[in-house]
Amino acid sequence: MDIVTVVGARPQFIKAAVVSHAFQKAGFQERIVHTGQHYDPGMSDIFFSELGIPSPEINLDVGSGSHGAQTGAMMIKLEKYLEKRPPDWLVVYGDTNSTLASSMVGAKLGIPVAHVEAGLRSFNMRMPEEINRIVTDRLSDLLFCPTQTAVDHLKTEGMTKGVHLTGDVMLDATKYFAQKAQESRPLHEILGPEISTFFLATVHRAENTNDPNRLSAILDAFRQISETIVWPVHPRTRNLLERFDVSKNVVIIEPVSYLAMLTLITHSTKVLTDSGGLQKEAVWLGTPCITMRDETEWTETLEGGWNRIVGADTTAIVKATTLDPHGPAPMFGAVAGGSASSHICRLLAN
């Protein structure tokens, strides 16, 4: 079994890590292609070493650019690579431009495509990720769904062939790496001894960072929150923040590794984010989440108020920080018969 795995952004490295481990146990040959969508070594290389992912066979070095330019460059370079040695399966993850480019190239070359994290929908077509998901699902031969909700979305759209409920590989990763994070990246090494009680924030989506009104509203909310807010900031967002007045209770730090992020989530009082994966990780680790978007793909996280959708509304963000969830945190994403990664291996082998 010869598999080509395509990754290009931080969430994909994490998902691929646990599946790659399963591939190794199953005796599959895996070739990893890094598109270079995240080209900063601090955002990319460290994940491969930290998570034990085999080094990429090739890095396409695409870098940043407009959606069209970035996706087109990926398709041109990936097509040349795959034409030389077509694999048995092309495995893609999530909903980035790397996902879209890979699925289109695979489909046009007649290489079977397997989509991990299929069937997610925000129903917001202004999101580039939503377009990428829909197209990738249509082009994929195997659709590995993390939840029954994702399966139902595909059924509604007329897709039932090749659809499988595998569970969530992010749950595999969170379970596997959470304990390792506590041992290898303790809190005092990340923040120093002076910060022990804090909220954790991440803001990176274009809908928030590219809209001055939304970003200003989020910063106003941070200003009204009395707690210390620890905010790992991507370099692009840091440049944007130079135009705004960031309050003194906000501690801006450099982007952190996956293990360090798990440690921060575990020790934070609440998480404020516009990330998709971080919503799930927070809930799975028992930390209430406040999502600064207008919708979520992960509706399961909303149970018991463990995740609250507040958009970029200053008042709603501040109010949500005063509310606590009720009942146990929802543990979704698991299915009977083994981990999501083992289910994916078995389905590919068959």
**Catalytic positions:** 204
Q: Tell me the C-alpha to C-alpha distance, in Å, between residue 318 and each of 204, 244, 271, 299.
A: 19, 19, 12, 21
As to burial, measured by CB atoms within 10 angstroms (0-12 exposed, 13-18 middle, 19+ buried), residue 337 is exposed
What's the chain's length in residues?
350
Q: Pick from 115, 128, 95, 261: which is nearest to 191 by CA?
A: 261
Rounded CA-CA distance 307/330 in Å is 10
* Helix (H) or strand (E) run with residue 144 in it: strand 142-145
- Asked whether 194 and 259 are in contact (CB, 8 A), the reply is no
For strands 89-93 and 113-116, give the pairing: parallel
Instruction: Tell me the two tokens of residue 100.
Output: 């879209």
- Asked whether 295 and 309 are in contact (CB, 8 A), the reply is yes
Instruction: Tell me the two tokens of residue 97.
Output: 């431009």
Q: Pick from 64, 126, 60, 133: which is nearest to 94 by CA?
A: 133
- Asked whether 113 and 103 are in contact (CB, 8 A), the reply is yes
Q: Is the Cα torsion angle 172, 174, 175, 177 positive or negative in sign? A: positive
Sheet holding 271-273, edge to edge: 250-253, 229-232, 199-202, 271-273, 289-291, 307-309
Rounded CA-CA distance 123/345 in Å is 30
